[in-house]
Amino acid sequence: MKCRKCGAPAALELRRHNAAFCAPDFLEFFRNQVREAIRRHRMLTKDEPVLVAVSGGKDSLALWDVLLEDGYRTTGLYLDLGIFDYSVESRAKCEAFAASRGAPLVVRAVADEVGAPVPVIKEVTRRPPCSGCGLSKRYLMNRAALDLGIPVVATGHNLDDEAATLFGSVLHWQTDALARQSPALASTHAKLARRVKPLYRLSERETAAYAFLRKIDYIVEECPFARGATSIAHKEVLARLEDASPGARHNFVFGFLDRARAAFERAEGVTLNECARCGQVTTGTVCAFCKLADQVKRAAAR
C-alpha cells in the first residue's frame, strides 16, 4: 500500500476515504482536517484564548498538540476525577505533556468541588459512574473557563464519539439532545462558554495514529468504569457497521449535521436561569451539580 500523496510506503490506510498515507502526509492530512473544522464552524480565532479540556488520553492531547502547533493561545484543563491509579497516571501524562510544550495547565479536583471523588459519587447516587462524572465535568469545565476569563472550551470529541452519541440519541429519540448535538455550540448565556470539538471530522483510529506518530505519551489504559458504558456498546455496533461499510459513521454524522439537525432545533429555546446556589446556568432553580453536591454531603453526614 502506498501513500496517496507521495507514493512512499503507507503507514495508515483510511478506508472511508479510500486512501492511505505515509506518516508525514498523514500528519498533514490530520492538521488540515482540524483546520477545516475550525474554519467551517468558526470555532476559534488566534486572538482569543481557548481552554483545552485534557484527560491524558489520545484525543485531547492530540487536539492540544495541533492547537499549539498552529499557534493558538491554549490553556489546558485537567479535571482530577479521583479514579484510583487511572487518575494518578492520566494526570501525570497531562502534566508531562504541558511541561514538554511549556504550556499552562490548570488542575481541578472533582473531590474538592463536589465533596467526593467519582467512585464515591457513584455509590452515593446509585447511578452509572459516567453519569455523575459527565455532569461534574461539564459543569467544572464551564466554571473554570468563566473563572479564567476564557470564552471557549475545546474538547477532544472525535467522529466516533459523535456517531455514538448521535446513535444513542436516535435510539431513544431524544429530540432535545439531537437539537444540541453540534461540533460548535454558541454561548447562549453570559455564563456559558462556547463549546467546540475540532476533532469531529477525525476518527478515533486517526487520533490514535496522530498521537502515536507525534510520540505523545498518552494513557492507553481504560478508565476502570468505562467497561459496560452505554456509549461503548454503541461504538461496538458502529465499528461493525463501519467494517462492513466504510464511511458509514462519517455519513451518519455528516448527513445528520447537513440535512437533519435543523429539523430538531426548536423555534424557541429553553429558558436559562442562574442557579440559586452557585449562580451557574441551569434550566431549573437549583442546578444538577449543586443537587449532586448536596446528595454527596448528606451521604457523608450519615
Partner 1 sequence: MKVVLRNPRREVEVAGNRRVKDVLRELDILPETVLVIRGDDLVTADQLVRDDDVIELRPVMSGGSEPRLSGTGHPRGEAASRSPLQTAPHASGTGHPRPDAAWRHSLR
User: Applying CB under 8 A, which of residues 104, 255, 279, 284 lies at the interface with partner 1?
Assistant: 284
Rounded alpha-carbon distances, angstroms, from residue 263 to 252, 257, 266: 16, 10, 8
User: Applying CB under 8 A, which of residues 8, 88, 232, 260 lies at the interface with partner 1?
Assistant: 232
Buried b (16+ CB within 10 A) or exposed e, 188-215: eeeebbbbbbbbbbbbbbbbbbbbbbbe
Helix crossing, 204-213 with 159-171: angle to 10°? 160
Q: Which stretch binds partner 1 (CB under 8 A): 34-42, 100-108, 252-260, 288-296?
A: 288-296
Rounded alpha-carbon distances, angstroms, from residue 187 to 43, 253, 277, 292: 12, 22, 21, 24
3-state secondary structure at position 133? helix
Kindly tell me which of 46 and 298 has the beta carbon lying closer to partner 1. Answer: 298
Q: Please give the size of the binding site for partner 1, defined by CB under 8 A.
A: 89
Query: CA-CA distance, 56 to 163, in Å (whole number)?
Result: 22
Query: CA-CA distance, 295 to 50, in Å (whole number)?
Result: 33
Minimum distance between the CB of residue 243 and partner 1, rounded to whole angstroms? 5
Query: CA-CA distance, 145 to 75, in Å (whole number)?
Result: 10
Q: Which of 109, 74, 116 is nearest to 90 (CA)?
A: 109
Cell digits of residue 107: 488542575
Minimum distance between the CB of residue 279 and partner 1, rounded to whole angstroms? 12
Amino acid at position 11, single letter: A
Binding mask 162-181 for partner 1 (x = CB under 8 A): --xx--x--------x--xx
User: Rule CB under 8 A: which of 1-60 touch partner 1?
Assistant: 1, 10-13, 15, 20, 23, 53, 55, 57-60
Kindly tell me which of 33 and 181 has the beta carbon lying closer to partner 1. Answer: 181
User: Applying CB under 8 A, which of residues 8, 171, 237, 276 lies at the interface with partner 1?
Assistant: 237
Binding mask 189-228 for partner 1 (x = CB under 8 A): x--x--x-------xxx-xxx--xx-----xxxxx-xxxx
Kindly tell me which of 102 and 287 has the beta carbon lying closer to partner 1. Answer: 287
Minimum distance between the CB of residue 240 and partner 1, rounded to whole angstroms? 6
3-state secondary structure at position 283? coil
Kindly tell me which of 65 and 161 has the beta carbon lying closer to partner 1. Answer: 161
Minimum distance between the CB of residue 224 and partner 1, rounded to whole angstroms? 9
Torsion of CA 62, 65, 66, 72, to 10 degrees: 140
User: Rule CB under 8 A: which of 241-280 touch partner 1?
Assistant: 242-244, 246, 270, 272-273
Kindly tell me which of 71 and 244 has the beta carbon lying closer to partner 1. Answer: 244
User: Rule CB under 8 A: which of 103-162 touch partner 1?
Assistant: 127-135, 137-139, 142, 155-157, 160-161
Segments in the chain forming alpha helices (H): 23-40, 58-69, 84-101, 110-114, 118-125, 129-148, 159-171, 175-180, 204-213, 230-244, 248-255, 261-264, 288-301
Minimum distance between the CB of residue 127 and partner 1, rounded to whole angstroms? 8
Kindly tell me which of 102 and 211 has the beta carbon lying closer to partner 1. Answer: 211
